[in-house]
Structure 1
Amino acid sequence: MKTIVLLSLLLCAAAAAPAEEKLKAPELEEKMKNQEKPVPKDSVPVPINAQMLEQEAAPEVAFSFCPNGWFSHDRLCFLFVHTSMNWFQAEEHCNSLGGNLASVTSSRQYGFLQSIAQTAGQSVVWLGGFNLQGQWMWIDREGFYYTNWYSLSSASSNPCITLRSTTGWCNAQCTTSYRFICAKNPFKC
């Protein structure tokens, strides 16, 4: 049994490891000629084109670990669900897909989720935030450190969080039906 668990963990780790860029000898030699020698950034001025050289040298991602129809962002996969449900039904639906309602941990991630909602033509969608005993939290157990409140109503009567596609988030009654965004980590075993 220990062997099976160990093999499962190794397979999961191998699947999560990034693929290496493979270059043929002539391509590698040409690439090395065109690159500047690495120098610590704090010891000399950095050339203006240095960032461009780094971008050119970076390998392109050939595939995504996210299932078809899901969007990849910050090591997570996101899915916009076009069916309106109340917050509890939405969370159950996301669970059935191997995830949770989306949490938000940064302004960059919030902007990405807003763009998903705007692309779908929605101004309000469910997120995975809720209030329990006076404490705001995310259903996926992420820390509630980033906040982006547009308006905040009474948490006791409006304990679930909605994303606004043009402003920050709001809280609403969990029994209201909205479309929603699911999120999952493709590397969880």
Structure 2
Amino acid sequence: MEMQKVAAKEEKCEEGQESYESMLEAKSKEESHRTHYSELEKPSEDVYTEAFFGAKTKTQGEDKRSQAAMKRYRIGCLILTLVCLVLLLFVIVLVVKLVQAGSTGCPENPVPGLYNMNLSKTIRTQNPHGCYCCHKCPTGWVRLDQSCFYLSTFRLSWEQSQKTCSAEGSSLAVVSSNKIQNFLTQQAKDIKYWIGLRRIGSTWTWVNNNVVGQSYWRDNSTHGDCGILSSGDQTKNNWMKYSCRAYTYYICQLQL
């Protein structure tokens, strides 16, 4: 009887042992299963660290490239600024030179020096550029308003006188007003001078092709196709008709 009790007791212990082992095995499987999914749901710190430092390294590379591009952009802007400053300085210097040239330079149609054919001497004053001062009459010329007049000191025919004046950028004097008539009469001082007056056909014209308007003829005692201003006579009647081949002094007129 006791043996049966012991056997029953041992049998219960074995059943309990098997049940305990089954529970341990199930728990072990459960923990194994849980650990597998836990590793998927909660990645290791190394994964986060690797991802963080990888992203940081990538950002630093992009920053370096951006800084290099910005540096090149700034250098380009600096170069363009310097080029613009150089061009601006060049323009300023050029403008200053043009202004200086305009203040001391030559007129648009510079007039060469008028030479005394007998004395071979320039009677006009030249500036350093080889032209004559603007808005000023040269030495030896007299001025009235915007015209300069040169009273020659040697004699030529009318054609030669006109060619001499024309070659030097002027012409024989045109008496277009009473003011000029009075002025030239006073300057002439009892000498006869060719003026730019001639007859073409039956019409008296000036060298600029204008027909004579107001006239100051002396009388009809002389004949010829070219006109002379005789300062020894009255201002209102001192034009004389002479042969164009005659030799006398002449008056050149230069417009300023």
* CA deviation profile, 1:129-172 (whole Å, cap 9, x unmatched): 00001010001234421211112357xx6100000102320110
Contact 2:203–2:211 (CA under 8 A) maintained in structure 1: no
Indicate how the Cα distance of structure 1 residues 177 and 152 shifts in structure 2: closer, same or farther if over 3 A, else same. same
* CA deviation profile, 1:162-187 (whole Å, cap 9, x unmatched): 0010232011000110001000112x
* CA deviation profile, 1:2-59 (whole Å, cap 9, x unmatched): xxxxx9xxx69xx99xxxxxxxxxxxxxxxxxxxxxxxxxxxxxxxxxxxxxxxxxxx
Indicate the SS of the match to 2:204: strand
| CA–CA separation in structure 2 for the residues paired with 1:79 and 1:140 | 18
User: Pairwise mapping of residues 173-184 of structure 1 onto structure 2 (< 5 A)?
Assistant: 173-184=243-254
Structure having the larger proportion of residues in helix: 2
Instruction: Name the % identity.
Output: 26
Aligned-pair CA distance for 1:72: 0.8
User: Pairwise mapping of residues 22-171 of structure 1 onto structure 2 (< 5 A)?
Assistant: 65-118=136-189, 122-152=190-220, 158-165=224-231, 166-167=233-234, 168-171=238-241
| CA–CA separation in structure 2 for the residues paired with 1:114 and 1:80 | 11
Aligned-pair CA distance for 1:64: 5.1
Aligned-pair CA distance for 1:95: 0.9
Indicate how the Cα distance of structure 1 residues 97 and 86 shifts in structure 2: closer, same or farther if over 3 A, else same. same
Q: Which has the larger radius of gyration?
A: 2
Contact 1:103–1:142 (CA under 8 A) maintained in structure 2: no
| CA–CA separation in structure 1 for the residues paired with 2:220 and 2:138 | 35
Pair 1:185-2:255 in alignment: yes
Indicate the SS of the match to 2:228: strand
Q: How many residues align?
A: 124
| CA–CA separation in structure 2 for the residues paired with 1:77 and 1:142 | 20
Which blocks of at least 5 consecutive residues in structure 2 are unaligned? 1-97, 108-133
RMSD: 2.5
Provide the TM-score with structure 2 as the length reference: 0.44
Which blocks of at least 5 consecutive residues in structure 1 are unaligned? 1-6, 17-62
Residue type at the aligned position of 1:80: L
Q: Which 4+ runs in 1 deviate beyond 3 A?
A: none
| CA–CA separation in structure 1 for the residues paired with 2:181 and 2:255 | 17
Indicate the SS of the match to 1:85: coil
Provide the TM-score with structure 1 as the length reference: 0.59
Structure having the larger proportion of residues in strand: 1
Contact 1:66–1:72 (CA under 8 A) maintained in structure 2: yes
Contact 1:129–1:136 (CA under 8 A) maintained in structure 2: yes
Contact 1:104–1:146 (CA under 8 A) maintained in structure 2: no
Contact 2:204–2:211 (CA under 8 A) maintained in structure 1: no
| CA–CA separation in structure 2 for the residues paired with 1:160 and 1:87 | 7
